[in-house]
């Protein structure tokens, strides 16, 4: 009889296949006493294991680079950073020296201690580090014991991977041709394993009872990564329903592949430009510039955060030039350094703030340390000679901040001109709209601003007073709130009335269910992680401007988030699925 297990939806999509349960191979480790004379030998084994695991992590990162977004590929950088953390190494060595235990035992103890510390942390992102430390421990011990890494395959048939958890290093062991879904006991929606599953397009449900999973190896099951459900021994009716959904999913994927290089216009010919968000030079390598209108948001802070000291002006010029060359004449919007809040700079001492998200971040910090702003803007100006560059200012709260930045820009352009250095004199200066108070005063600020870009990630967090990184209130972080839609409407109206270009560069720009609303509210530029561009384009090509406007008008007038979500479900989702079905039928 069918059994339905409720878990947490971690990666969208559905899958049908038998469950195969995999055990972590390293439950048992050898234990021995180490003589004083052998302590050095154990430390040398540690160096060897760290070097070996680093190489395999970097190999894995390279192997997955084509399938994962740049941000996700960085998960492996974080693991390498733990491996090379001097404190971690010192702690393991101290364990060997003081307790005279072998390296495997020392690692097990230190990893368990770190895990506990991370698991007790308030910040959910830090709590996730516990899984990374566990993964590092497992890989090190695996390397020491020269354990053949267990490949997760089901002898060439399709399967659902089941285990107590899915860790970043597991991604390299999956049989990518046959893995259909992932089911685990541990992990959350934001765990690294879940992020990787999403990036690899594998439906996943986490939070399912381990004992149950172990006992059902070989059982046919359905993973519903949209609803967070696993159905064991599905009934014929369940199978009918989910096979239909699988067909739908495949139809969407096929249509997405077809529209990849088609124009991004509504069916009645209204163009909406789709730009890419990038986070550093590595993103540039993977960019398919033919499929986008340009780079709508270059989050320059990530390049600063990866380093051990501030990049020099020349180093910055080289990086910005890479972006300009990659975009081949299409616009590149460089956001000035947006550190602070949840983005610390290791080599720059930040104050201990009670509310860092409301604190010294973005432009506030740069205006207090104008050297940073000067060298960055100068570097962008020098790179601008290669094409069409724009400068975007984060966390702007008032017109006067924009005026001060413009003064810096004017001074820099005058200097460059005087010294004969090439730059684009038409370079534009824009403002991120992410601090709510800016919205009512936009008409005052627009004369000193060339363009706007709405940072809905922060704007929504400030409008709803819900921390975007706090899992406890994550359910309340809902951009479909009619109040948010009304604010978005106000911003578009103010910008359009002043004839200034306005884009959205927060996550909602890449959420295809949002697309008809955004177009209906008056947005004609959306900037998103490149992976979302094809799906958003497909959506855009499905609704006329009139339909988008009608949907947006109705949503804005609604009284609750639930009503807006129902509208999405009843009219956007269902209509889209019907259209896809029709296009599939016409193929037959
Ligand atoms: C935003 O706030 O929407 C945004 C794009 O900036 P970030 O996510 O980098 O804060
Ligand atoms: Mg922001």
- The C-alpha angle with vertex 328 and arms to 324 and 330, in degrees rounded to 5, equals 85
Give one DSSP letter per residue of 551-564, joined into a string.
HHHHHHT-S-HHHH
User: What's residue 458's pLDDT?
Assistant: 94
553 touches 228 (CB < 8 A): no
Closest residue by CA, ligand 1 atom 3? 455
Grade residue 70 by pLDDT with cuts at 50, 70 and 90: low
**Cα of 341 from ligand 2 centre, angstroms:** 10
Any idea which of 4-13, 16-25, 77-86, 558-567 has the lowest mean pLDDT?
16-25
Structure token pair of residue 352: 């201990």
Mean pLDDT of the chain: 90
Rounded CA gap, 554 and 40, in Å?
Answer: 72
Edge-to-edge, what's the strand order for the sheet holding 179-184? 3-6, 229-232, 220-224, 14-21, 159-163, 179-184, 204-206, 8-11
The answer, yes or no, to whether residue 584 has pLDDT greater than 70, is no
- Tell me which residues have their CB within 5 A of the ion that is ligand 2: 434, 455, 458
Which residues are identified as catalytic? Answer: 192, 505
The model's pTM: 0.72
Question: How do residues 528-564 score in pLDDT, each as one tens digit?
Answer: 988 789 889 999 999 999 999 999 999 999 999 999 9
Pocket perturbation via mutation, ligand 1, pick of 304, 433, 457 by most ligand atoms within 8 A of CB? 457
Q: How far apart are the first and last CA of the chain?
A: 35
401's enclosing H/E stretch is: helix 399-418
Any idea which of 255-269, 390-404, 510-524 has the lowest mean pLDDT?
255-269
Closest residue by CA, ligand 1 atom 8? 457
Q: What number does CATH give the domain 3-24+150-234? A: 3.50.30.10
Coil, strand or helix at 22 = coil
Q: Which atom of ligand 1 is nearest to the CA of 301?
A: 9
In this structure, the residues whose C-beta lies within 6 A of any atom of ligand 1 are: 299, 338, 434, 455-458, 505-506
Q: What percent of the chain has pLDDT over 70?
A: 95
User: What's residue 268's pLDDT?
Assistant: 97
514 touches 520 (CB < 8 A): no
Structure token pair of residue 125: 């992102």
The answer, yes or no, to whether residue 293 has pLDDT greater than 90, is yes
**Cα of 394 from ligand 2 centre, angstroms:** 7
Q: Which atom of ligand 1 is nearest to the CA of 459?
A: 2
Structure token pair of residue 30: 């050898």
User: What's residue 173's pLDDT?
Assistant: 83
Pocket perturbation via mutation, ligand 1, pick of 505, 507, 532 by most ligand atoms within 8 A of CB? 505
User: What's residue 456's pLDDT?
Assistant: 95
Give the closest ligand to the alpha carbon of residue 297.
Answer: 1
30/42: higher pLDDT: 42
Closest residue by CA, ligand 1 atom 1? 455
- The C-alpha angle with vertex 23 and arms to 53 and 31, in degrees rounded to 5, equals 60
Pocket perturbation via mutation, ligand 1, pick of 283, 299, 438 by most ligand atoms within 8 A of CB? 299
* Averaged pLDDT for residues 170-190: 87
Nearest to 481 by CA among 462, 496, 494: 462
User: What's residue 14's pLDDT?
Assistant: 94
Is 36-144 the same fold as 3-24+150-234?
no
Any idea which of 143-152, 349-358, 502-511 has the lowest mean pLDDT?
143-152
24/49: higher pLDDT: 49
User: What's residue 481's pLDDT?
Assistant: 97
The answer, yes or no, to whether residue 122 has pLDDT greater than 70, is no
281 touches 304 (CB < 8 A): no
Give the closest ligand to the alpha carbon of residue 298.
Answer: 1
Rounded CA gap, 246 and 425, in Å?
Answer: 53
**Residue 557: exposed, middle, or buried by beta-carbon count in 10 A (0-12, 13-18, 19+)?**
exposed
Q: Which atom of ligand 1 is nearest to the CA of 457?
A: 3
Coil, strand or helix at 355 = coil
Q: What number does CATH give the domain 264-587? A: 3.20.20.60
Q: Which atom of ligand 1 is nearest to the CA of 299?
A: 9
**Cα of 45 from ligand 2 centre, angstroms:** 44
- The C-alpha angle with vertex 174 and arms to 211 and 248, in degrees rounded to 5, equals 90
**Cα of 117 from ligand 1 centre, angstroms:** 29
**Cα of 285 from ligand 1 centre, angstroms:** 22
Give the closest ligand to the alpha carbon of residue 335.
Answer: 1
Q: Which atom of ligand 1 is nearest to the CA of 456?
A: 3
Q: Which atom of ligand 1 is nearest to the CA of 341?
A: 10
Give the closest ligand to the alpha carbon of residue 342.
Answer: 1
Domain spanning 36-144, CATH architecture = Orthogonal Bundle (1.10)
Looking at 434-500, which runs of residues are DSSP E strands? 451-454
Grade residue 407 by pLDDT with cuts at 50, 70 and 90: very high
Rounded CA gap, 366 and 339, in Å?
Answer: 9
Grade residue 410 by pLDDT with cuts at 50, 70 and 90: very high
The answer, yes or no, to whether residue 390 has pLDDT greater than 70, is yes
**Cα of 496 from ligand 1 centre, angstroms:** 22
Closest residue by CA, ligand 1 atom 9? 299
Domain boundaries, the chain: 3-24+150-234, 36-144, 264-587
Pocket perturbation via mutation, ligand 1, pick of 506, 507, 518 by most ligand atoms within 8 A of CB? 506
Looking at 326-420, which runs of residues are DSSP E strands? 332-335, 389-393
* Averaged pLDDT for residues 484-502: 98
User: What's residue 334's pLDDT?
Assistant: 98
DSSP 395: S
**Cα of 193 from ligand 2 centre, angstroms:** 25
Write down the residue that tokens 């363009």 correspond to.
451
Grade residue 130 by pLDDT with cuts at 50, 70 and 90: confident
SS3 content of the chain, % helix, strand, coil (to 5): 55, 15, 30
Q: Which value, to the nearest 10 degrees, does the dihedral of the CA atoms of residues 85, 88, 90, 91 take? A: 170
């Amino acid at each position: 009889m069918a059994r339905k297990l409720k878990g947490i939806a971690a990666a969208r999509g559905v899958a049908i296949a038998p469950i195969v349960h995999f055990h972590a191979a390293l439950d048992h480790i050898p234990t021995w006493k180490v003589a004083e004379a052998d302590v050095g030998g154990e430390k040398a084994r540690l160096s060897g294991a760290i070097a070996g695991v680093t190489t395999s992590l970097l190999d894995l990162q390279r192997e997955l680079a084509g399938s994962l977004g740049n941000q996700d590929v960085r998960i492996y950088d974080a693991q390498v950073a733990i491996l090379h953390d001097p404190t971690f190494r010192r702690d393991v060595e101290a364990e060997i020296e003081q307790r005279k235990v072998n390296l495997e035992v020392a690692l097990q103890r230190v990893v368990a201690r770190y895990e506990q510390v991370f698991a007790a942390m308030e910040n959910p992102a830090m709590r996730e580090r516990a899984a990374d430390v566990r993964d590092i421990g497992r890989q090190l011990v695996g390397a020491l014991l020269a354990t053949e890494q267990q490949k997760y395959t089901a002898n060439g048939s399709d399967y659902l991977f089941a285990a107590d958890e899915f860790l970043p290093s597991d991604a390299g062991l999956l049989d990518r041709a046959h893995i259909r879904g992932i089911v685990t006991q541990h992990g959350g929606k934001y765990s690294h394993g879940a992020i990787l599953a999403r990036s690899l397009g594998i439906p996943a449900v986490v939070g399912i009872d381990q004992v149950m999973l172990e006992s059902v190896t070989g059982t046919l099951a359905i993973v519903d990564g949209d609803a967070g459900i696993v159905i064991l021994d599905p009934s014929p009716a369940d199978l009918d329903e989910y096979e239909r959904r699988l067909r739908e999913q495949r139809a969407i994927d096929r249509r997405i592949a077809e529209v990849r290089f088609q124009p991004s216009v509504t069916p009645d010919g209204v163009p909406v430009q789709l730009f890419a968000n990038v986070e550093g030079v590595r993103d540039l390598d993977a960019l398919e510039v033919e499929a986008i209108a340009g780079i709508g948001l270059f989050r320059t802070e990530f390049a600063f955060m990866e380093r051990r000291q501030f990049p020099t002006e020349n180093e910055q010029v080289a990086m910005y030039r890479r972006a300009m060359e990659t975009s081949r004449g299409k616009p590149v919007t460089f956001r000035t350094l947006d550190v602070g809040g949840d983005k610390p700079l290791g080599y720059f001492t930040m104050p201990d703030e009670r509310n860092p998200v409301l604190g010294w971040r973005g432009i506030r910090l740069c205006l207090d340390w104008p050297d940073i702003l000067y060298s960055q803007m100068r570097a962008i100006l020098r790179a601008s000679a290669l094409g069409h560059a724009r400068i975007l200012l984060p966390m702007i709260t008032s017109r006067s901040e924009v005026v001060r930045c413009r003064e810096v820009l004017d001074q820099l352009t005058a200097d460059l001109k005087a010294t004969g250095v090439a730059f684009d004199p038409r370079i534009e200066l824009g403002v991120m709209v992410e601090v709510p108070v800016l919205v009512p005063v936009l008409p005052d600020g627009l004369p000193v601003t060339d363009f706007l870009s709405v940072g809905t990630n922060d704007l929504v967090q400030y409008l709803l007073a819900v921390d975007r990184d706090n899992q406890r209130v994550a359910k309340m972080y809902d951009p479909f709130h009619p109040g948010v839609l009304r604010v978005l409407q106000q911003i578009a109206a103010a910008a359009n009335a002043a004839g200034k270009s306005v884009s959205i560069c927060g996550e909602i720009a890449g959420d295809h269910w949002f697309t008809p609303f955004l177009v209906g509210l008056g947005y004609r530029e959306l900037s998103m992680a490149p992976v979302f561009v094809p799906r958003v384009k497909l959506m855009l090509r499905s609704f006329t401007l009139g339909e988008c406007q009608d949907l947006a008008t109705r949503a804005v007038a609604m009284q609750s988030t639930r009503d807006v979500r129902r509208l999405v479900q009843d009219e956007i989702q269902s209509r889209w699925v019907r259209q896809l079905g029709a296009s599939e039928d016409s193929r037959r």
